[in-house]
Amino acid sequence: MDADVQWHHLAVELARMAGVAERLLAVHADDGSGRCVVCSSGRQAGHYVWPCQLHLLATRAIEVRDGRAATRG
């Protein structure tokens, strides 16, 4: 199974969890300098550009839930 299909399946599972995608979007936000507030904290400070992978996954999950995502695999 390729990475795009795995990513889609993960988004589908996340879409089934009420409110989780929205919470991820709320916390994995731009810090104002193009970095993720959460992913760029601690030892990883400044290393993660926004949108981070979790923000992208949460966005995809909402698209899946709302029927706006292309079906894959």
Question: Which is nearest to 60 in space by CA: 50, 71, 49?
Answer: 71
Q: Which pLDDT does position 71 carry in this prediction?
A: 56
Res. 47: pLDDT tops 80: no
Q: What is the band of 62 on the pLDDT scale with cuts at 50, 70, 90?
A: very high
Share of the chain above pLDDT 90, in %: 64
Q: Rg of the chain over CA atoms, in angstroms?
A: 13
In the predicted model, what is the mean pLDDT of the chain?
88
Domain boundaries, the chain: 3-65
Q: How far is CA 57 from CA 13, 43, 72, in A?
A: 11, 23, 15
- Report pLDDT digits (tens) over 11-29: 999 999 999 999 999 999 9
Scored b (16 or more CB within 10 A) or e, 27-51 reads: ebeeeeeebbebbbeeeeeeebebb
Q: Which pLDDT does position 66 carry in this prediction?
A: 94
